[in-house]
Amino acid sequence: MNSNSTFQPVLIMLFLALILQFIPLSGDWVFWKPNFLLLMMIAWMLYFPDQYGIEFAVIMGIFADFIFLSTLGYHILIFSICGLILIFFHRIVVYLQLVHRVTLVFLMILLVEFMRAAIDNALDKPLFIEDILALAVISAICWIPLDKVVGHFYSLHK
């Protein structure tokens, strides 16, 4: 399988992530909605860091900045830091069992949400950290199918 064979699945998954990201939620549920772009980025960077590196994280951050109507660079910084951590731990994480990868995603979501809270605090925006634990659990559960799909492409690529 050549390196271009993952481009079409990435585009399809990006399209699905955008659709899921645009599904409206109201009330308290909006704080429990996973960041599907971040989950997609984690999945592809975890298995294919040579093809989807820090540039991919920056592109996903730009998409997130436009979708969430945030200041340009807000999500780029967060996604880039997350991507650098994934690239650093790639060699170890690929060989872990699913439960360990889910735990890694759980911890990564916690890190991302605390980084967002720190940036919001520095910008004097209101903080919403009450539901971070629930969001991390829901995001880790939503990441399991992504891991299975991207893991399948990784096994075909080897």
Q: Closest Cα to residue 102, out of 62, 64, 148?
A: 148
Q: pTM of the full predicted structure?
A: 0.88
Residues of the chain with pLDDT under 50: 1-2
The Cα 105–Cα 98 span in angstroms is 11
Neighbours of 42 (CB within 10 A): 29
The Cα 135–Cα 141 span in angstroms is 10
Sorted by where each starts, the structural domains of the chain and their CATH numbers stand as 3-157 (1.10.1760.20)
Please tell me the predicted confidence (pLDDT) of residue 112: 92
Please tell me the predicted confidence (pLDDT) of residue 134: 86
The Cα 54–Cα 86 span in angstroms is 10
b/e sequence 23-40, b meaning 16+ C-beta within 10 Å? eeeeeeeeeebbbbbbbb
Place of tokens 């704080």: 31
Please tell me the predicted confidence (pLDDT) of residue 1: 43
Q: Are 39 and 17 in contact (CB under 8 A)?
A: yes
Q: Closest Cα to residue 108, out of 88, 131, 74, 82?
A: 82
Give the amino acid at 41.
M
